[in-house]
Amino acid sequence: MSRLQQLRSWMASRGLQVTIVPSNDCHFDEYVPDMFKVREYLSGFDGSAGTLVVTATEAALWTDSRYFLQAERQLAGSGIVLMKLKMPGTPAIPQWIASCCKAAGADPCSYKVGVDGDLFSYDDFATYRRELAPMPLETFTDPFDQLWEGRPGLGNSPIVLHKEEYAGQSVKEKYAAVAERIGEEGPFALFISFCDEIMWLLNIRGGDIEYNAVALSYCLLTDNGITLFCRRENLTAEAAAYLADQGVEVRPYGEIDGALAALPASTVRIVSNNCCAINKYNLIKGPGVLPDPTVGGTIAMLRACKNAVQAEGFRRAFRQDGVCWVRLLKFIYDNYCSGRLSEYSVTQKLLEIKSASENYRGESFEPIVAWNANAASAHYSFTDEASSARIAGGGFLLMDLGSHYPYGTTDTTRTIFLGGEEPTAGQKEDYTLVLKGMIALAQAIFPEGTRGCQLDILARGPMYRTGKMYFHGTGHGIGQWLCVHESPQIRMEYSPIALQPGMVMSDEPAVYVEGKYGIRTENAVHVVPFTKTECNTFYAFETFTLVPIDTRAVDFSLLNEQEKEWLKAYNTKVYESLKDDLSEEERTWLLTYVK
């Protein structure tokens, strides 16, 4: 029996006519651990975004334009229809389900739709319920332990201590700060589903999701203290001792539901719209349930503003990142003429260089090393030497790389021009306008209350003159040895969150020329005080990144004097900051490169 048929049998046994299977896990994290890749298991489509809908006789998968080609390939022969989001004629999911109901000649009022209530937030659930009506929408709890033979488990990655010397704050201090923001005088309980919020709060780190230092966990923060729900056996002795010392109770992961159900009705229960699943909400609902009082989330806002110890840790991480980059760049320039470099070999080399870096805790995301046209393709990747491109001839090599250190996480993109021929005027213009945008944002001064979307034009504006633009955010928050994409200030153009001192984020304008090349220049910046006057308090950005910017493709006639000075000063600062950590040979190379 096929996987879909197994699901259908189970649906029939439950009296369900339809099931909707989303991509996310029950923690609503950006990346999903293997155990929760149910949509991929059922459909064969392994893109990061897609929703599968299954009826007794039909199945369809909705995904966005990034994945049309891949989905078409992976769904071929499966009987699952590809639904292209935002394309003319594509029905919305509720509309499609209604048409299936009609085609089956069924009574809508008894055409039951079921969802795993741990995978839908209560807002999303309410929207689906409204849009599906009069068809009823029900929740169930994850049935795939039975239906999925060989399903991966929760994982055995150790949960380790994140030392206070890097966190800059004890759990007790964080607890006090959260409780103060919550502001409840009597009994209260804040329910936390986001694993990265829990790691931050408890000064621990895990490894259950690739590139993200998180352990699958839930947390309850109440007026009595903190309870962590996780695989207790994964805790190192050091972490367990620290949590005990900080008064944190640790219970098995599976006990969260019981704990939520046991909250007394007299407790003020606080949940966040974005991350509270409808199943969890149903366990705690009743009078006295309040939304999180802080826009963006109490924990997320506290976590976003790095303290002085953390900021120093980031500076240290970016110095080490800079040294690794210099070694990698030198390797590329030294070996380029051999004609034997490939995207794969460069990636291997960078992993080799980084592995030697003190305290290195792994990459913070899948490294991107893309030559010419490959850099313009949104989801380019390769698995080995053979499937990766040879770096030969001339052109742009785009590298987007990041590392975790216990004291900081890096995320840096550089695009370098290689080859004997000069870059064309068009290549130079594109490279220079991206650089102008990056510099303009990095130099912004702005008053308290300014949101990212109000600064976005600085990074995007120069490119607009050529009728080009990039279709991704200008920046995202960066976690400390956590997730490289950290809320709440993610995606500079839409977030309602005002930029606040201590926030760390990326500044990464880009341009992609289909079939030819992609150019992106990315530095990490840190919000710092600039001045306080009778008018207002003003902030500026400190640039953390210390990686030389290639000037070969710069058209200096497009830079004004001030931009030229910035570029020169930046590359000089890179040299001065890194020189003591480089070998004589590396130092000499860098000096020549930044001259």
Bridge partners of 305, per DSSP, are 503
CB closer to its own copies out of 394 and 461 = 461
Identity of residue 423: P
Residues with Cβ within 8 Å of 566's Cβ and at least 6 positions away in sequence, in order, are 439, 442, 443
CB closer to its own copies out of 141 and 562 = 562
* Burial bucket for residue 302 (CB in 10 Å: 0-12, 13-18, 19+): buried
Binding window for its own copies (CB under 8 A); candidates: 16-24, 103-111, 161-169, 526-534: 526-534
Q: Which of residues 4-23 bind its own copies (CB under 8 A)?
A: none
Dihedral Cα 116, 27, 60, 99, nearest 10 deg: 50
- Comparing CA positions, the residue from 488, 499, 558 lying closest to residue 526 is 499
Question: What minimum distance in Å lies between the beta carbon of 492 and its own copies?
Answer: 11
Binding window for its own copies (CB under 8 A); candidates: 129-137, 253-261, 496-504, 529-537: 529-537
Q: Is there a contact between 497 and 482 (Cβ–Cβ < 8 Å)?
A: no
CB closer to its own copies out of 384 and 534 = 534
**Angle value at C-alpha 305, between 248 and 444, nearest 5 degrees:** 170
- Give the x-and-dash track for 393-432 against its own copies (CB under 8 A): ----------------------------------------
Question: What minimum distance in Å lies between the beta carbon of 489 and its own copies?
Answer: 16
CB closer to its own copies out of 110 and 466 = 466
- Give the x-and-dash track for 165-184 against its own copies (CB under 8 A): --------------------
Bridge partners of 417, per DSSP, are 396
- Comparing CA positions, the residue from 167, 229, 237, 225 lying closest to residue 200 is 167
Question: What minimum distance in Å lies between the beta carbon of 561 and its own copies?
Answer: 7
CB closer to its own copies out of 10 and 538 = 538
CB closer to its own copies out of 200 and 512 = 512
* Burial bucket for residue 384 (CB in 10 Å: 0-12, 13-18, 19+): exposed
Binding window for its own copies (CB under 8 A); candidates: 94-102, 157-165, 217-225, 444-452: 444-452
In angstroms, how far is the first alpha carbon of the chain from the final one?
Answer: 66
Dihedral Cα 178, 183, 188, 189, nearest 10 deg: -30
- Give the x-and-dash track for 530-569 against its own copies (CB under 8 A): xxxx-xx-x---------------------xxx-------
* Residue of the chain from 133, 262, 469, 528 that contacts its own copies (CB under 8 A): 469
Binding window for its own copies (CB under 8 A); candidates: 201-209, 222-230, 406-414, 443-451: 443-451
CB closer to its own copies out of 357 and 454 = 454
CB closer to its own copies out of 265 and 535 = 535
Block residue for tokens 């004004």 = 560
- Comparing CA positions, the residue from 484, 492, 494, 488 lying closest to residue 31 is 484
- Give the x-and-dash track for 485-524 against its own copies (CB under 8 A): ----------------------------------------
* Residue of the chain from 446, 481, 570, 593 that contacts its own copies (CB under 8 A): 446
Tell me which DSSP letter residue 228 carries.
E
Question: What minimum distance in Å lies between the beta carbon of 463 and its own copies?
Answer: 9
CB closer to its own copies out of 249 and 565 = 565
- Comparing CA positions, the residue from 396, 467, 398 lying closest to residue 427 is 396
Under the binding rule (CB under 8 A), the answer on residue 478 touching its own copies is no
The CA distance from 167 to 204, in Å, is 10
Question: What minimum distance in Å lies between the beta carbon of 373 and its own copies?
Answer: 16
CB closer to its own copies out of 253 and 530 = 530
Distance of CA 588 to the CA centre of its chain: 37
**Angle value at C-alpha 531, between 530 and 532, nearest 5 degrees:** 140
- Give the x-and-dash track for 449-468 against its own copies (CB under 8 A): -x--xxxxxx--x--xx-xx
Block residue for tokens 């055409």 = 111
Question: What minimum distance in Å lies between the beta carbon of 437 and its own copies?
Answer: 13
The CA distance from 101 to 89, in Å, is 19
* Residue of the chain from 447, 501, 516, 555 that contacts its own copies (CB under 8 A): 447
CB closer to its own copies out of 13 and 560 = 560
The CA distance from 143 to 19, in Å, is 12
CB closer to its own copies out of 30 and 493 = 493
Count the neighbouring beta carbons within 10 Å of the beta carbon of residue 500.
16
Question: What minimum distance in Å lies between the beta carbon of 567 and its own copies?
Answer: 15
CB closer to its own copies out of 36 and 517 = 517
How many residues touch its own copies under the rule CB under 8 A: the total is: 27
Q: Is the peptide bond before 293 cis (omega within 30 degrees of 0)?
A: no
Block residue for tokens 């990212």 = 452
- Comparing CA positions, the residue from 361, 335, 355 lying closest to residue 346 is 335
Block residue for tokens 């990041």 = 402
Instruction: Kindly list the residues in this chain that would bind its own copies in the complex (CB under 8 A).
Output: 444-447, 450, 453-458, 461, 464-465, 467-469, 530-533, 535-536, 538, 560-562
